[in-house]
Homo-oligomer: A and B are copies of this chain.
Amino acid sequence: MTPGGPPPILFDVYGTLLDTASVARACETVAPGRGAELGALWRARQLEYTWLRSGAGRYVNFQAVTEAALRYAVRASGARVAEDRVSALAGAYLSLDPFPEAAGALTRLRGAGHRCGVLSNGLPEMLLPALRRAGLADLLDPVLSADAVHRYKPHPRVYGLGPRALGCPAGEILFVSANGWDIAGAGWSGYRTFWVNRAGAPDEELDAPPWASGPTLDALAELLGAGDPDGIR
């Protein structure tokens, strides 16, 4: 980072750049008419399992957590799915849709001089193909994974990966997430934070409010004065 220049930005991936709700399509194939419901339960359990395992010091990687959460969600939903089908369905996390504004906003932020990377719970083996398919991989560097420290967000060791990789204090990095609890975790670890509050949810009551928030990644680009790179800023 250039001292005094545009701050580097680390993005959360799931729910922030990639739309976890887009697993609903794949879920429809095993639970017709209830794909969205199954996908939401899957995602909720996936998060819970990361919190529980990290909090208890019982790390298994994000692929294993994602498959376990899906097995739970499938059984809770009453869908009948063969075990090998569950593993295949878990592959939906490798082909999530990007949010429609993601590529454009990242391009504008880079054009304005911001280094853009990611800091995610996901395994590199999950993140890289997913970001590639979504057309975002070339816009993002570094790709930092919680797997490097065998903890999950909001453990401070995970957020500690950012300053280490970027060579500057957390307070000089902007962390961007659509997950309110992730904003709190990053704030606890000293980052400046931007909350992509896509759902218009209330602030979490975790004593670490975001520095700023907005409904989309475009709102972040606008806030940082990152105009259309083809136009005049």
What is A's interface to B at a CB cutoff of 8 Å? Answer: 45, 48-49, 51-58, 60, 68-69, 71-72, 75-76, 152, 154-156, 181, 184-185, 188, 201-202, 204-207
How far, in whole Å, are A206 and B72 apart by their CA atoms in the complex?
A: 10
Pairwise interchain contact B154-A206, C-beta atoms closer than 8 A: no
Pairwise interchain contact B55-A54, C-beta atoms closer than 8 A: yes
- Our pick among B54, B76, B152 for the contact of A201 (Cβ within 8 Å) is B76
Report the minimum CB–CB distance from A166 to chain B (whole Å): 21
Pairwise interchain contact B68-A205, C-beta atoms closer than 8 A: yes
Q: Which residues of chain B are within 8 angstroms of A68 by Cβ–Cβ distance?
A: 205-206
Q: Which of A49, A51, A204 has the most CB of B within 10 A?
A: A51
Q: Which residues of chain B are within 8 angstroms of A57 by Cβ–Cβ distance?
A: 155-156
Q: Which of A55, A76, A204, A207 has the most CB of B within 10 A?
A: A55
- Our pick among B69, B155, B205 for the contact of A55 (Cβ within 8 Å) is B155
Residue of B nearest to A185 (CB): B56
Pairwise interchain contact A51-B51, C-beta atoms closer than 8 A: yes
Pairwise interchain contact B56-A202, C-beta atoms closer than 8 A: no
Residue of B nearest to A202 (CB): B75
Pairwise interchain contact B76-A202, C-beta atoms closer than 8 A: yes
- Our pick among B49, B51, B60, B202 for the contact of A52 (Cβ within 8 Å) is B51
27 A-B pairs (CB sep. < 8 Å): A45-B205, A48-B51, A49-B205, A49-B206, A51-B52, A52-B154, A52-B181, A52-B184, A53-B206, A54-B55, A55-B152, A55-B154, A55-B155, A56-B154, A56-B155, A57-B155, A58-B154, A58-B188, A58-B206, A60-B207, A68-B205, A68-B206, A71-B205, A72-B202, A72-B205, A76-B201, A76-B202
Report the minimum CB–CB distance from A208 to chain B (whole Å): 9
How far, in whole Å, are A154 and B155 apart by their CA atoms in the complex?
A: 14
Q: Which of A52, A69, A72, A75 has the most CB of B within 10 A?
A: A52
Q: Which 5 A-B pairs have the closest CB atoms?
A: A68-B205, A55-B55, A75-B202, A51-B51, A56-B154
Report the minimum CB–CB distance from A148 to chain B (whole Å): 17
How far, in whole Å, are A76 and B51 apart by their CA atoms in the complex?
A: 22
Pairwise interchain contact A156-B202, C-beta atoms closer than 8 A: no
